[in-house]
C-alpha cells in the first residue's frame, strides 16, 4: 500500500484549523475529500502538526496511504484540481517510505508571526498580519523572544501546577 507525503500551503481564514471538525470546515477534511475524489478511497490524512482556526501554512507536511498507486505528479495535480476553489494547494507530492510519519518524522517546525505597526489598517496583508496601530518596543520584544528559542523533545510547556489540577 503506497504512502504519500504531500506538502501543502493554505490560507487558514475559512477553516476551523487543520484537524477535522464537526462544527466547520478543516484543511484535513478538504484534503481527505480530494483524495476520495481522486481514488474513490477514504483515507485519513496525518499532518505534521495542527494549526488553529484561521492560521495559515506555507509548508505543512501530511501523509496518507492509498491502495492504488499513482505517480506523485498525478497525485499533486489531481488533488489541486479537486481542492478548488478552497485556498489550499498541494505544492509537492512524493511516495514515502512505509514508516514515514508526517508528525513523528518531522525534524523541525518553523513559525512566523507578522506584526504590522502603523496607524492605517492593512489591505493587501489583511488576515496575514496582526495589526497594532501604534509603535511597539522592539528591543523589549527581542529580549522576551530569546526565551522562546531552542529545541525540545518534551511536550509543550504547561504551568507548574497544571498536572496537580487534573483529576
Domain spans of the chain, in order of start: 3-96
Spatial strand order in the sheet of 46-47: 46-47, 57-65, 3-10, 88-96
C-alpha cell of 137? 518596543
Question: pLDDT band at 164, cuts 50/70/90?
Answer: very low
Each residue's pLDDT tens digit, 53-62: 888 999 999 9
Catalytic center residues: 52
Q: How far is 80 from 35, CA to CA, in rounded Å?
A: 10
The whole-number pLDDT of residue 162 equals 42
Rounded to the nearest integer, the mean pLDDT of the chain is: 89
Residues in a beta bridge with 57: 10
The whole-number pLDDT of residue 152 equals 64
Higher pLDDT, residue 28 or 50: 28
User: What are the start-end ranges of the H helices in the chain?
Assistant: 27-39, 72-83, 138-145
Q: Which fold has domain 3-96?
A: Alpha-Beta Plaits (3.30.70)
Amino acid at each position: 500500500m503506497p504512502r504519500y507525503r504531500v506538502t501543502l500551503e493554505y490560507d487558514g481564514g475559512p477553516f476551523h484549523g487543520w484537524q477535522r471538525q464537526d462544527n466547520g470546515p478543516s484543511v484535513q477534511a478538504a484534503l481527505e475529500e480530494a483524495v476520495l475524489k481522486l481514488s474513490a478511497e477514504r483515507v485519513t490524512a496525518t499532518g505534521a502538526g495542527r494549526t488553529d482556526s484561521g492560521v495559515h501554512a506555507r509548508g505543512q507536511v501530511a501523509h496518507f496511504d492509498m491502495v492504488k498507486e499513482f505517480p506523485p505528479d498525478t497525485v499533486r495535480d489531481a488533488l489541486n484540481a479537486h481542492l478548488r476553489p478552497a485556498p489550499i494547494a498541494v505544492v509537492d507530492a512524493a511516495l514515502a517510505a512505509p514508516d514515514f510519519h508526517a508528525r513523528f518524522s518531522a525534524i523541525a517546525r518553523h513559525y512566523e508571526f507578522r506584526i504590522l505597526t502603523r496607524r492605517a489598517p492593512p489591505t493587501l496583508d489583511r488576515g496575514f498580519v496582526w495589526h497594532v496601530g501604534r509603535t511597539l518596543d522592539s528591543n523589549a520584544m527581542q529580549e522576551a523572544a530569546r526565551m522562546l528559542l531552542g529545541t525540545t523533545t518534551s511536550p509543550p510547556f504547561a504551568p507548574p501546577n497544571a498536572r496537580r489540577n487534573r483529576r
